[in-house]
Amino acid sequence: MEALQRLDQLESEAPDRIAAASDLENLARIEAETVGKRSPLLEIRRGLGSLPDEERREVGRRVNEVAQLLGSLIAQRRSILETAAMDEALRAEEVDVTLPGRRPPRGTRHLIDAIQQEVVDIFVSMGYTVATGPEAETEFYNFTALNIPYTHPSRLESDTFYLDYGEVPEGTLLRTHTSPMQARYMELHRPPVYIVVPGRVFRRDSDSTHTPSFHQIEGLAVDTDITFADLKGTLAHFARLFFGPDTKTKFIPHYFPFTEPSAEMHAYADGRWLELLGCGMVDPAVFGHVGYDPDQVTGFAFGMGIERLAMVRHGITDIRALYDPDLRILRQFR
Amino acid sequence: MKLTLDWLKDFVDVPVTDPAHLVDVFESLGLEVEDWGRIEPTFSGVVVGKVLSVEPHPNADKVRLCTVDIGAGEPSQIVCGAWNFDAGAIVPVALPGAVLQGDFEIGRRTIRGVESNGMICSEEELGLGDDAAGIMVLDEDYPWATDHIGAEFSRLLPFPDAYYDLAITPNRPDCMSVYGVARELAAYYDVDLVEPRTDVTEVGPPSTASITITDPDACPRFVAREVRGLVARRSPHWMRRRLQLAGVRPISNIVDASNYAMLEVGHPTHAFDMDRLGDRIVVRHAAEGETITTLDGNQRTLEPSDIVVADATRPVAIAGIMGGADTEVHDGTSRVLIEAAYWNPPSILLTSKRLGLRSEASARFERGMDPNFCDRAADRVAHLLQELADGAVAPPLIDEYPKPIAERTVLFDVADVRRLLGIELNVAEVADLLRRLGFTVAGDGPLEVTVPTRRPDVTRPADLVEEVARLHGFDNIPDRVRTGTGGGLPTRERTLRKIRDVVVGAGYHEIATFSIIAESDLDALGLPDGNPVRDAVAVSNPLSEEERLLRTTLIPGLLRALAVNQSRQLKAIRLFEIGTVFMPGSGKLPEQPLRLGFVAGGQPAITWEGQGRTADVFDATGLWELLAAELGVPQPAVRAHRSPVFHPGRCAEVLAMGSPIGTVGEVHPAIAARFGLAGRVVAGEIDLDELLLERPPWRFVPPSTYPPVIIDLAFALDGDVPAAALTETVRRAGGPFLEELTVFDVFAGGNLGEGRKSIAVRLVFRAPDRTLTDDDVVPLRTAIVEAVERSLGGTLRGAP
């Protein structure tokens, strides 16, 4: 019965050793010595065959019993030691999470483009599409087709950049507004027309409220039954979408050669009345230039400065800030 | 244009008490109010007094002792330092307790032993003008003051008054006057308009002046009136006050009368000193090279397209623009010829523009005055000279009108009001609105509307609709939100937005630079003569001599922007611009491609992990690869390129569908230095127009669920074989199962031999429908190695 005594001894001694295992390596050694290759259990199991039947059964049962017990104690201890080891490894990886994060690089769109897109989207949502035209334009499209007389001051060299290009009398210039696209678009499309035309325009002017080039959005709606009431409603709606639902607007009579009647829309924004855009019913002479019959169609047109919208919205007082490439300015354009 | 409420009231009885209300009325009429303000007296306690006696001061030579009747009680004794009056004068008296100029209180004082009970005031002391030399003598300026001894002086003046500075749109020359604005108010309130006084008493022998007009198209009408016996003196205070508030400096009654009349009735007139002017006036074209010295003292050289007023010997005025110095009215002038003409507007504009000479008169004539008002304009001045300068008006009114201009009649279908404005007005309502504005309306089918000649802007039914809308009130037209039938956001716009998103996502900040650049910018880029980028379209009238070319490239603007940031110590600078460049083309207009330009440079950012990476050429090519992938550009490619702007070994051309569409790389350090840039500078410029075209939508490819076979191959190649040639060859030989190709190692030197390099690629093969076996991949590997050997002379490294 030496085997049974050894099993009893193992059963009473081994649990303390397992519980005292200090690390996984140590536990592996104890495992080998208690239930593994070099353990009394393996030795006794190997000797089972030489034992008498009755004793073999008894010793066999005890071997399994002890093996099971010790196996489960070892697994328990291993789990504890593994968790502790991982805890320690993770503790070693602790960092100061308040250090600045690794921000993916990201630039900014220019404010002019952002505002332009916002205005375009408002009108696209109202059923308009977008057209764009050339920045270097003929005198015909910039002035003549828009019913601007040869004597109009805006044609003066003091106001408009002319180009050394092409042949006189068909002069070329840098467009002074986005309106030339009215004529260009109507020449190529039959009514109805619902377009907005964003783009860069040029005036011979430079101070804190004028830069030699700036951006405009032109709008044109031509259909069989467009009235001044449509103009007022549509543009007032735009102002509410752009500046907020309570934005008040007023229309006051004005003069443009290419609209009749003409108006300026003022909006109450930023705590004051601001002149926001020029507008009016398309002048019959403009329809005449593009082959539309002014007895069959009516339309309205409008034009507004993008920089002005940007300046009002964001509290910019000097337009030149919009043409300063300083990153400290650009990063604000979010 | 500045005017006062007081002056307007000469012509229209405005039924409002608060001048603020008129601001809204002006605005609703289309008369934009640029500025306005109330005019209140700056004094109180000042009464009208009558000087009873003037005695010397017993103890002083420079002041006098006056006894003044101030209405109530005993006459007051007042010491006064002014000498421009005598006993009997009516004067403003500040009594003890009066306050002048807002805070200066007048008290009882003893002056050199004599008690003074107040102060007799000058214009300047009362804030009524700048005359401080003497006291105001009211019986000259305000004759009716005699009847108001003891009354508050401010009650005699038009207080409370208000001034308005109106911006008159160029289509409304008829509103460039007090009378014209008053007409608009009369229409608005539907009240009567008072006509200006033009009555004169003709005396003396007929005028001997004669008028000849050689070109009636340029001068359809010329009216003249002679006035004699003039006595030059200061204009009365009420007139000087109005002139000053209108921004015109009073000079003397004769000159002031003409200025006053122009501000009041709009039509410019000119007064010639008749003693310096011959009798025979000729209106003619100038002779080539003829000269005149104008009122401003400048000698002007004229051309035959200019119209002049001349006498027998020389031009005496540039028609409608400015008179000559020779015949200018002066202090000794006793006889004048008043000219009131109608000039053809374009001819005035042309001459004024050519001479760079603009005046109040030219601003009016170039927009168009009323040809049928010339006679009244002349006699308005004559009337004023008669009243204020003792003028004797000579008969007759000389009126040369070789080309009469008649009123226009416009047929007006009232349905146009509904069609254009969206409101319902009946015929009577429309007719009434037009009548109030001074149009004559007849008929009731289409209305026959007769337009006064003062309104050159009204020629068509649409113009009448505007008049109806204005007077009916824009506020009374309803708002209707109109939605269109447009086609949404076009592909071009959507693609542009995507490009911006991609470039912004890559860390670049968008900027806007000017489209006009300097020749020196192109010099700085090191571009030799004959380089197409040097072929720029020039602006004929640039703002500065230096910046006169339309940009042919975005690069100089971007490099300058980079330099601005670098000089301000900013780091890791990445900028881009999307903009038009211009180059000579074959059509009426220059070619105007849209481009993307970008730059990166500056010191890398510092973080707690160390310093970041300096941008180099691969950031440039990488940005293109990203863009091409995001946009689905067919066959995007990169190949080595040479450009004077770029580093000779670090410049690439980018291609789409086999065509070059841009250049990217590192800027040549010598070029960068010219822009003040230090360190590596990355730049690129890509034509966008091709990329913005409509493309078919991308098609979905289901990812294979079978495992891949991955093999690594390293090739030894001659140093000048581009990596793109290797990847292209491998890809072609790899066939359809080659799912992914990654270059993962590149080096030169070592044991490869002089001028050789090694490029290693990792190849991922995968079939959509089965697991690949060695039988599939081994032949592909062999084919790839053979292809590289055959076409590039490369050998597989580490091969047995």
Pairing of strands A136-138, A249-256: unpaired
- Which residues of chain A neighbour B500 with C-beta distances below 8 Å? 109, 113
Shortest Cα distance from A86 to chain B (angstroms)? 27
pLDDT per position as a tens digit, B756-777: 999 999 999 999 999 999 999 9
Amino acid A38 reads R
Q: Give the chain A residue nearest B566 (alpha carbons).
A: A326
- Which residues of chain A neighbour B477 with C-beta distances below 8 Å? 228-229, 232
Decide: helix, strand or coil at residue B243.
helix
Q: Is B493 on the interface with A (CB under 8 A)?
A: yes
Q: Is B481 on the interface with A (CB under 8 A)?
A: yes
Q: Of B177, B254, B183, A175, which is closest to residue A184 (Cα–Cα)?
A: A175
Which of B541, B582, B591 is the best substitution to test chain A (most A C-beta atoms within 10 A)? B541
Shortest Cα distance from A132 to chain B (angstroms)? 9
- In angstroms, rounded to a whole number, what is the distance separating the alpha carbons of residues B555 and B685? 7
B568-597 residues touching A, CB cutoff 8 A: 568, 570, 573-576, 579-580, 582, 584, 588-590, 592
**B800 pLDDT tier (thresholds 50, 70, 90):** very low
- In angstroms, rounded to a whole number, what is the distance separating the alpha carbons of residues B323 and B471? 39
**B74 pLDDT tier (thresholds 50, 70, 90):** confident
Under an 8 A CB cutoff, do A251 and B475 touch?
yes
Under an 8 A CB cutoff, do A230 and B512 touch?
no
Average pLDDT score over residue span B214-230: 97
Q: What are phi and psi of B316, to 5 degrees?
A: -115, -5
Among B466, B475, B487, beta carbon nearest to A260: B466
Helices first, then strands: H and E counts in chain B:
20, 41
Complete edge-to-edge strand list for the sheet that includes strand B322-323: B210-213, B280-285, B307-310, B315-318, B322-323
**DSSP secondary-structure letter at A207?**
B
CATH code at A111-333: 3.30.930.10
Shortest Cα distance from A17 to chain B (angstroms)? 47
Q: Of B175, B389, B162, B340, which is closest to residue B263 (Cα–Cα)?
A: B175
pLDDT exceeds cutoff 80 at B45: yes
CB contact at 8 A, B544 and B563: no
Q: Burial-class residue B393 by CB neighbours within 10 Å (0-12, 13-18, 19+).
A: buried
What DSSP letter does each residue of B136-197 carry, written as one string? Answer: --HHHH-GGGGGGTTSBGGGGTT-SEEEEEEE--TT-GGGSSHHHHHHHHHHHHT-PBPPPP
Under an 8 A CB cutoff, do B421 and A112 touch?
no
CA distances from B167 to A301, B31, B33, B363, B464 (A): 23, 6, 6, 13, 22
Decide: helix, strand or coil at residue B339.
strand
pLDDT exceeds cutoff 60 at B697: yes
- Which residues of chain A neighbour B492 with C-beta distances below 8 Å? 130, 132
Task: Calculate ∠ Cα A55-A59-A60, nearest 5°.
Answer: 110
Under an 8 A CB cutoff, do B510 and A107 touch?
yes
Count of A-B CB contacts under 8 Å: 259
Shortest Cα distance from B124 to chain A (angstroms)? 37
Q: Give the chain A residue nearest B417 (alpha carbons).
A: A227
Average pLDDT score over residue span B656-675: 96
pLDDT exceeds cutoff 50 at B136: yes
Among A129, A252, A327, beta carbon nearest to B474: A252
Quote ipTM for the complex. 0.90
- In angstroms, rounded to a whole number, what is the distance separating the alpha carbons of residues A171 and A138? 6
Q: Give the chain B residue nearest A223 (alpha carbons).
A: B484
CB contact at 8 A, B149 and B49: yes
Q: What is the mean pLDDT of chain B?
A: 94
| CA atoms within a 13 Å half-sphere pointing along the CA-CB vector of A137 | 28
Q: For residue A140, count other CB atoms closer than 10 A to its CB.
A: 17
pTM for the predicted model, two decimal places: 0.88
What is the predicted pLDDT for the residue at A44? 85
pLDDT exceeds cutoff 50 at B505: yes
Average pLDDT score over residue span B577-581: 98
Backbone φ/ψ region at B632: left (φ over 0), alpha (ψ -120 to 50), beta: left
Q: Which of A113-122, B59-68, B189-198, B278-287 is the least confident region?
A: B59-68
CA distances from B45 to A8, B142, B290, B370 (A): 128, 19, 61, 47
Decide: helix, strand or coil at residue B245.
helix
CB contact at 8 A, A178 and A133: yes
Q: Give the chain B residue nearest A165 (alpha carbons).
A: B537
Shortest Cα distance from A317 to chain B (angstroms)? 18
What is the predicted pLDDT for the residue at A72? 93
Shortest Cα distance from B588 to chain A (angstroms)? 6
Q: For residue B776, count other CB atoms closer than 10 A to its CB.
A: 15
- Which residues of chain A neighbour B166 with C-beta distances below 8 Å? none
Among B463, B482, B570, beta carbon nearest to A230: B482
| CA atoms within a 13 Å half-sphere pointing along the CA-CB vector of B137 | 15
Under an 8 A CB cutoff, do A233 and B478 touch?
yes
- Helices B723-734 and B774-792 meet at what angle, rounded to 10? 140
What is the predicted pLDDT for the residue at A169? 61
B97-156 residues touching A, CB cutoff 8 A: none
Q: Burial-class residue B152 by CB neighbours within 10 Å (0-12, 13-18, 19+).
A: middle
Under an 8 A CB cutoff, do A172 and B568 touch?
no
- In angstroms, rounded to a whole number, what is the distance separating the alpha carbons of residues B681 and B672? 7
- Which residues of chain A neighbour B420 with C-beta distances below 8 Å? 227-228, 261, 281, 298
Shortest Cα distance from A72 to chain B (angstroms)? 40
Shortest Cα distance from A87 to chain B (angstroms)? 26
Pairing of strands A193-202, A213-223: antiparallel
Decide: helix, strand or coil at residue B289.
coil
- In angstroms, rounded to a whole number, what is the distance separating the alpha carbons of residues A106 and A143? 42
What is the predicted pLDDT for the residue at B486? 80
pLDDT exceeds cutoff 80 at B799: no
Tokens of B399: 């009126």
Tokens of B128: 């009524």
Tokens of B226: 């002679």
Under an 8 A CB cutoff, do A255 and B172 touch?
yes
What is the CA B616 to chain-centroid distance, rounded? 45
- In angstroms, rounded to a whole number, what is the distance separating the alpha carbons of residues B62 and B60? 6
- In angstroms, rounded to a whole number, what is the distance separating the alpha carbons of residues A208 and B696? 47
Q: Is B504 on the interface with A (CB under 8 A)?
A: yes
Decide: helix, strand or coil at residue A24.
helix
Decide: helix, strand or coil at residue B15.
coil
Residue with tokens 């002083």: B60
- In angstroms, rounded to a whole number, what is the distance separating the alpha carbons of residues A113 and B170? 33
Q: For residue B81, count other CB atoms closer than 10 A to its CB.
A: 15
Tokens of B793: 């002379």
Among B460, B477, B541, beta carbon nearest to A229: B477
Where b means 16+ CB within 10 Å and e means fewer, B344-382 reads: bbebbbbbbbebebebebbbbbbbbbbbbbbbbbbbbbb
Taking only the tens of pLDDT, chain A with its 334 residues reads 688 888 888 888 989 999 999 999 999 999 988 888 888 888 888 888 888 888 888 888 888 998 899 999 999 999 999 999 999 999 999 999 999 999 898 999 999 999 999 999 999 999 999 999 999 999 999 999 999 988 777 888 888 999 999 776 678 999 999 999 999 999 999 999 999 999 999 999 877 778 899 999 999 999 999 999 999 999 999 999 999 999 999 999 999 999 999 999 999 987 889 999 999 999 999 999 999 999 999 999 999 999 999 999 999 999 999 999 999 999 999 8
Shortest Cα distance from A308 to chain B (angstroms)? 15
**DSSP secondary-structure letter at B598?**
E
Under an 8 A CB cutoff, do B484 and A127 touch?
yes
Under an 8 A CB cutoff, do B507 and A331 touch?
no
Task: Pick from A47-56, B404-413, B746-755 the range whose average pLDDT is largest.
Answer: B404-413
Under an 8 A CB cutoff, do A229 and B539 touch?
no
Cis peptide bond upstream of B396, omega within 30: yes
| CA diameter of chain B | 137
